Amino acid sequence: MKNALVVSLIALVAGIALFAATARPPASEAMPPYATGYPLIKEAYVFASANPEKLDGVPCYCGCMQHPHGGRLHSRGLLDCYKNGDAFERHASECEMCIMDALSVKKMDSEGKSKEEIVRAINAKYAGQMH
C-alpha cells in the first residue's frame, strides 16, 4: 500500500512538472512590447488574444475594413486589428478607436450582452458619422 502511494505521488509530481514545462505563458507575456506598453492597450490585447471569437465579426470603423492597413484589408472586423493569423497585429496599439471599441466589447460581454447586441451597439455608436 505504501509503495503504491509513493508511486502515485511521483506520477502526480511528474505530471505537474510536465504540464508546467509545456504550458503556454500568460497572454501578456507572449505579446510584443507594443501590445503591453500602456495599461489600456495591454488590456485590449489580452482580451483580444484570450477571446478572439468576441471580436471576430464586430465591425471596425477606423477604416481598415475599407482601406488596407499593412497591405491587407481586414475581413474579420475588429479582430484583424489585433491579430493577423496567429501573429499579433500592431495596428490596434496605434489606434485609439480600435482600443476603445475592443474594451467596449469586453465590457458589454461581461454584462452578458449577446454578439448581436454588441454588434448593434458598435454600429449605433458610429451611425451617421461615417461616409
- Which one has a higher pLDDT value, 11 or 110? 110
pLDDT digits (tens, 9 = 90+) for 61-109: 887 656 665 665 566 789 989 998 889 999 899 999 999 999 999 999 9
For 7-11, 83-87, 120-124, which range has the lowest pLDDT when averaged over its residues?
7-11
* pTM, rounded to two decimals: 0.72
Cβ atoms of residues 58 and 101 within 8 Å: yes
| d(C-alpha 27, C-alpha 131), whole Å | 36
Average pLDDT over the chain, rounded to whole? 79
Q: What is the pLDDT of residue 128?
A: 75
Q: What is the pLDDT of residue 19?
A: 43
Query: What values do phi and psi take at 21, rounded to 5?
Result: -70, -30
Q: Where are the beta strands (DSSP E) in 1-131?
A: 83-84, 87-88
Cβ atoms of residues 104 and 95 within 8 Å: no
Bridge partners of residue 64, in order along the sequence: none
